[in-house]
A = this chain, B = another copy of it.
Amino acid sequence: MPRHPRSLTDTEKLDWLRLLRSEGVGPITFFHLVRFYGSAAKALEALPELARRSGRRQPIRLAKREEAERELAAVARAGATLLGWLEPAYPVPLAAIEDAPPLVTLRGDPALLARRTIAIVGARNASANGRSFAETLARELGKIGFVVASGLARGIDGAAHKGALATGTVAALAGGIDICYPPEHRALHEAIAAEGALLAELPPGTEPLARHFPRRNRIISGLAEGVVVVEAALRSGSLITARMALEQGREVFAVPGSPLDPRCHGTNNLIRQGAALTESADDVLRGLGARGMPAQALALTAALAEPALDPLPAPDEDDAGKAREIVIERLSPSPTPVDEVVRQTELAPALVASALLELELAGRIERHPGNKVARLGT
Contacts and interface: CB of A to CB of B under 8 A. Distances in A.
Interface of A: 129, 132-133, 255-260, 264-265, 268, 271-272, 277-280
B277 A271 contact: yes
Contact of A258 (B133, B265, B272): B133
Contacts of A268: 256, 277, 279
Closest 3 CB pairs between A and B?
Answer: A256-B256, A259-B279, A272-B277
Contacts of A259: 133, 255-256, 278-280
Contacts of A260: 129, 132-133
Contacts of A277: 256, 268, 271-272
A129 B256 contact: no
A312 B133 CA distance: 61
Contacts of A279: 259, 265, 268
A259 to B, nearest CB: 4
When all copies of this chain in the complex are counted, the total is 2
A259 B231 CA distance: 12
A133 B268 CA distance: 15
A256 B271 contact: yes
Given A257-B257, A258-B258, 10 more contacts: A129-B260, A133-B258, A256-B258, A256-B268, A256-B277, A259-B279, A259-B280, A265-B279, A268-B279, A272-B277
A256 B272 CA distance: 11
A265 to B, nearest CB: 7
A81 to B, nearest CB: 39
A284 to B, nearest CB: 12
A89 B260 CA distance: 38
Nearest to A276: B272
Contacts of A258: 129, 133, 255-258
Nearest to A278: B259
Output the residue of A259, A272, A278 with the most chain B CB within 10 A: A259
A266 to B, nearest CB: 11
A133 B132 CA distance: 24
Contacts of A278: 259
Contacts of A280: 259
A174 to B, nearest CB: 29
Nearest to A280: B259
A352 to B, nearest CB: 42
A259 B254 CA distance: 11
A242 to B, nearest CB: 16
A319 to B, nearest CB: 53
Contacts of A272: 277
A131 to B, nearest CB: 11
Contacts of A255: 258-259
A268 to B, nearest CB: 5
A123 to B, nearest CB: 13
Contacts of A264: 256
Nearest to A264: B256
A129 B127 CA distance: 15
20 contacts: A129-B258, A129-B260, A133-B258, A133-B259, A255-B258, A255-B259, A256-B257, A256-B264, A256-B268, A256-B277, A257-B257, A257-B258, A258-B258, A259-B278, A259-B280, A265-B279, A268-B277, A268-B279, A271-B271, A271-B277
A139 to B, nearest CB: 14
Contacts of A133: 258-260
A278 B269 CA distance: 10
